[in-house]
Amino acid sequence: MTQFSANLGFLWTDLALPDAIHAAKAAGFDAVECHWPYAVDPADVRTALDATDLRMLGLNTDRGDVAGGDNGLSALPDRIDEARAAIDQAIAYALQIGCGAVHVMAGFADGSAAHDCFVANLKYAATQAAAHDITILIEPLNRYDAPGYFLTTTTQAIAIIDAVNAPNLKLMFDCYHVQLMEGDLTHRLASLLPKIGHIQFAGVPARGRPDEGEVAYKHVFKAIAELGYTAPLGAEYKPGGDTDQTLGWMATLR
């Protein structure tokens, strides 16, 4: 049976993070993940995780000055010190809550200098994380939701992963983003599986619940299971209201 992780960056956002963890447990999720938990005391998060016996699968590096237009820092050649501070912050927080992966956000950039900067920062991140058995993830984002983001396709991501050449650097394969940019989900999942560290999903194109839109996730999840992938899949969709009222898909898509 397919396992699911609740992405608390989108689900139960009306609740404090520790309370959202408890809500995910009550709803039947097998794990949780989040975006930017840094305003919450990690001790409170760890207490909620221990109480629910849920794992926090991943979190993101800080985006930087969001009001000033930042969406990540690690591909910005003039922000290396800030990028590495964000990496250090994320790894330290992950350690305190027992989180297994950190998504290093590239930011808005382009060109060869951005590529070289991202590779260098990812080498730094992978080295820092390896000592703690933490996986570093990179995620291509689609050009509609994040125009100008440096990393947009799985092909680009794999080239970067190969350039870094660190065993704990993996691809975060978000079916929503990949469908919008490249399509061909099940073939891509099969070919990229050895490089994949986490899989996420949402309805396409609205990023709503996964049983709505153009992707037949029952088929996709069956294909993932047949590939031998057994880790929880991340539900990173926008509920558009009360999260609990949108969870009917969990029974039909398992």
Query: Which residue numbers are catalytic?
Result: 139, 236
Q: Who's near 55: CB < 8 A, 6+ residues apart?
A: 31, 32, 49, 98, 99, 100
Residue 8 dihedral angles phi and psi, to the nearest 5°: -85, 5
Alpha helices in the chain (DSSP H): 17-27, 42-52, 80-97, 112-130, 154-164, 175-181, 185-192, 217-226, 249-253
Q: Write out the two tokens for 155.
A: 């092909």
Tally of CA atoms within 13 A in the half-sphere of 203 that contains its CB: 15
Half-sphere exposure of 252 (CA within 13 A, CB side): 10
Q: Rounded CA gap, 164 and 106, in Å?
A: 14
